[in-house]
Amino acid sequence: TQLLEQSPQFLSIQEGENLTVYCNSSSVFSSLQWYRQEPGEGPVLLVTVVTGGEVKKLKRLTFQFGDARKDSSLHITAAQPGDTGLYLCAGEANAGNMLTFGGGTRLMVKP
Amino acid sequence: KAGVTQTPRYLIKTRGQQVTLSCSPISGHRSVSWYQQTPGQGLQFLFEYFSETQRNKGNFPGRFSGRQFSNSRSEMNVSTLELGDSALYLCASSLRQGIGEQYFGPGTRLTVT
């Protein structure tokens, strides 16, 4: 069973601060996805990374896939209240297999 | 393009009853997956359907079942409800078979009393 551990579980910061969320596993994933979920809604896909060492940027969000494809990180620069939500990483072990989700990082950005 | 829709949004049932949840995927998406989300266990994969066939299955008891229709719409059924089945049930659709990038619906909040 592939497991994905996210850290930290909770994060409360002030607007304008930077933060990094980590997603780690002992297993190799063929791809890794990041989602954001807001209360009362389903998760929304932010990005998919597939190549070891890959870095993708989405405005103030930077996603990195580890060289060995076992871990990933999400860095947010100058966080804003609109970034508040539950951030989930999800790994696909083999193409065509099910997604394994991490436990999530609940982020609150205070104005 | 309309997103994934799920009905009903909220449901209250009693222990021992059964429940059926419905999901309509994004037009053109043929893969539908179901997930259970709880505060304690997080988001857990239930099963995936593609072309009316169950392709992948998570580690849930047989009380959880599903099906997919020829128009890709899917239903999930839970029989003999237990208190621990209280959760947010999420449906997600994808273009290709075997998960890929998931587009989630808003979920059905099931409360078992």
Quick check: B18 pLDDT over 90?
Answer: yes
Tell me, what's the pLDDT at A66? 95
**The predicted structure's pLDDT at residue A108:** 97
Q: Using CB atoms and an 8 Å cut-off, which of residues 56-75 of chain A contact chain B?
A: none
pLDDT over 70 (residue A9)? yes
CB B12 within 8 A of CB B111: yes
Query: Which two three-digit tokens encode residue B54?
Result: 């169950």
Q: What pairs with residue B44 in β-bridges?
A: B36
Nearest to A82 by CA among A49, A62, A60: A60
Q: Which of A40-44, A100-104, B29-33, B95-99 has the lowest mean pLDDT?
A: B95-99
pLDDT at B46 over 90: yes
Does residue A94 surpass a pLDDT of 80? no
Contact A44 B100 (CB under 8 A): no
Which of A41, A87, A98 best probes binding to B when mutated, by most B CB atoms within 10 angstroms? A98
Residues of B with Cβ-Cβ distance to A98 under 8 angstroms: 33, 45, 48, 56, 58, 99
- Measured CA to CA, the distance from residue A2 to residue A59 in angstroms comes to 31
B91 bridge partner residues: B34
**B98 pLDDT above the threshold of 80:** no
pLDDT in tens, A26-76: 989 988 999 999 988 999 999 999 999 999 999 999 999 999 999 999 999
Q: In this structure, are residues A76 and A60 in contact, taking their beta carbons and an 8 Å threshold? A: yes
Size of interface A-B (CB pairs under 8 A): 56
Q: Between chains, do B43 and A104 touch, taking CB under 8 Å as contact?
A: yes
- Write phi, then psi, for B99 (nearest 5 degrees): 75, -90
pLDDT at A1 over 60: no
Interchain pair B106, A40: CB under 8 A? yes
Phi, psi of B42 (to 5 degrees): 75, -150
- At A87 the pLDDT is 98
Residue A10 vs residue B101, higher pLDDT = A10
Decide if pLDDT at B11 tops 70. Answer: yes
Cβ burial, residue B15 (10 Å; 0-12/13-18/19+): exposed
**Nearest CA among B40, B39, B77 for reference residue B60:** B77
Q: What integer pLDDT is reported at residue A90 of this predicted model?
A: 93
Identify all chain A residues contacting B94, using CB atoms and an 8 Å cutoff.
none
